[in-house]
Amino acid sequence: MHQLETRPGMLVIVVIYLVGLALLGMYMFNKEKKLEAKGSGTKEFFLAGGSLGKLVALGTMLATYTGNGTVAGGGNSLTYNFGIWTGICFSIPPLLSFTFLGIIAPKIRESGCITCAQLIEKKFGSNARTFAGAILMLSMISIVSYQFSGLANILYATLGVPVVWGRLIGAVLIVGLAFGGGLRTVAATDAMSAFLMVIGLLIGLPVLFNAVGGFGAMVDYAKANNPGELTFFGTTANFWQWLGGYVPLFFLTIGDQNYYQRINSAKDLKTARFSLFGTGIAALVINTIVAFYAFTAKQWFGANISASQALISTATLMPTILGGIVLAAAGAFSVTTGDSYLLSGASNFTLDIYKNKINKNATEQQQLKVTRIFILVAGVFAFGILQLFPSVLAIQYWAYTISAAGMTPAILGALLWKKSTKWGGVVSMALGTLITISWEWELQKVTGVQTIFAALPVAVIALIVVSLATQKSNKVAA
């Protein structure tokens, strides 16, 4: 096994990228302030005025999907922990979920909603909207929390900076971009970062293989030392553990508010579908490439690195400039997803809780002020969450499951099922959320059953059974 050696020179490339990102963010912030002065409001801030073209819409959709969960968790960690095919199979959920979203995109655009909780209100009432907003906020902030680790791992690989300080630096950058100029800023920086991600990872892979003596050498090492890592199910304990690595992501994505907002921010349906189908295909390519990076890291560094450091560690094996580009691409994953989810969570607080319950007469300017205050507070809260979980993968599956079980059945029920009722939606959300929290807290250890297989079926059954039992009350109520 080889030791990870820091490469300070690579940080120059990362800094150039981050400075460029910050300058673009400042430019878009000034542009946004001018629009606000002209009277633009929450639709402009959260949906970019419904004006995004194909390339920017595709870029922001892809960048939102491929965050630090891709770099440090997700397929990266699955590959490191269980084997290469478990990482490659992480491409299956986005192919299915973005295809599904492309099919229902007309209904999403017809709803005209900024948040999924608003969509819930149309079917299940105002109180259900507030409850949904709170669940979505918790999920979004949890996802933001592990994005802070992306830059931390990069700073550790280049300079040996302690992880906690790296996380703090990541938090400042992500919060700053979200605070600046809303979705128009986020979409612009997303597009810039998305293309850097794809280019950096594609160029770096053959160079990495050359540095370690070829991919065949890594396969030979795995055959001799970890043959299970080359099988389709890898070293997972059973089929259910394998499946549990993908189900939360699928159900999170088809009910993820970020994608609904981007579907509505596209200038037309054709643009929205182009970005959805394009993201599904691009995610297939990216997740496969990431699996090869992580597999190589596992064979080369072994236990000298953690799962979350797998992809980033490989950059230290490349020439300085190219390694710096790969690290910048990894940083792009974290920053773009972090500011997207932070902005999305802010929309839940401002529109679904503050405007809906606290100050119903709030002006557009008051709402924008509250949004920016919430972004700062949520950034601090997200940093706290990051300190509570043992790994990026642990936070990732917690956040995925609470949204997949607590929200997705109710969202799809409100959007697609005419017989869904207020009580069916509320009970589904409540049970999905409560079971997720209790299972993650203790019951998963006791039962050995993964949280998604406990929470999601109950939430779906509750939506169906309670809705059918309360058809007489099938009308919107507060």
| DSSP state string for 280-327 | HHHHHHHHHHHHHHHHHHHHHHGGGS-GGGHHHHHGGGS-HHHHHHHH
Compute the distance between CA of residue 286 and CA of residue 289 in angstroms, rounded to an integer.
5
Cβ neighbours of residue 442 closer than 8 Å, sequence gap 6 or more: none
Contact 66, 94 (CB under 8 A): no
Q: Does residue 377 sit within a domain?
A: yes
DSSP 8-state assignment for residue 237: S
DSSP string, 36-48: HHTT--HHHHHHG
The tokens describing 415, both together, are 């959007």
Q: Does residue 452 sit within a domain?
A: no
Q: What pLDDT is recorded for position 236? A: 87
Query: How many domains does one find in the chain?
Result: 1
Within 10 angstroms of residue 419's Cβ, the number of other Cβ atoms is: 12
Q: What pLDDT is recorded for position 478? A: 46
Q: Does residue 218 sit within a domain?
A: yes
Residues 4-58: tens digit of each pLDDT: 787 888 888 888 887 877 777 677 667 666 655 655 556 666 666 677 888 888 8
Compute the distance between CA of residue 418 and CA of residue 245 in angstroms, rounded to an integer.
32
Contact 386, 171 (CB under 8 A): no
Q: Does residue 351 sit within a domain?
A: yes
Compute the distance between CA of residue 408 and CA of residue 254 in angstroms, rounded to an integer.
7
Q: How many residues does the chain have?
A: 478
Contact 279, 191 (CB under 8 A): no
Phi-psi region of 448 (alpha: psi -120 to 50; beta: other; left: phi over 0): left
3-state secondary structure of 266: strand
For 462, counting Cβ atoms within 10 Å of its Cβ (0-12 exposed, 13-18 middle, 19+ buried), the class is: buried
Instruction: Please tell me the number of Cα atoms within 13 Å of 147 on its side-chain side.
Output: 30
Compute the distance between CA of residue 364 and CA of residue 310 in angstroms, rounded to an integer.
45
Q: Does residue 476 sit within a domain?
A: no
Q: Does residue 175 sit within a domain?
A: yes
The tokens describing 369, both together, are 């002020």
Compute the distance between CA of residue 411 and CA of residue 50 in angstroms, rounded to an integer.
22
Number of H helices, E strands in the chain: 23, 0
Compute the distance between CA of residue 336 and CA of residue 114 in angstroms, rounded to an integer.
20
φ, ψ (nearest 5 deg) of residue 133: -60, -40
- Which value, to the nearest 10 degrees, does the dihedral of the CA atoms of residues 451, 455, 460, 463 take? -160
- Which value, to the nearest 10 degrees, does the dihedral of the CA atoms of residues 102, 103, 108, 110 take? 120
Q: Does residue 64 sit within a domain?
A: yes
Q: What pLDDT is recorded for position 461? A: 96
CATH code at position 225: 1.20.1730.10
Q: Helix 215-225 vs helix 269-301: angle between axes, to the nearest 10 degrees? A: 60
Q: Which residues of the chain have pLDDT under 50?
A: 476-478
Find the domain containing 255 and state its range. 10-393
Contact 463, 411 (CB under 8 A): no
Q: What pLDDT is recorded for position 257? A: 86
Q: Does residue 420 sit within a domain?
A: no
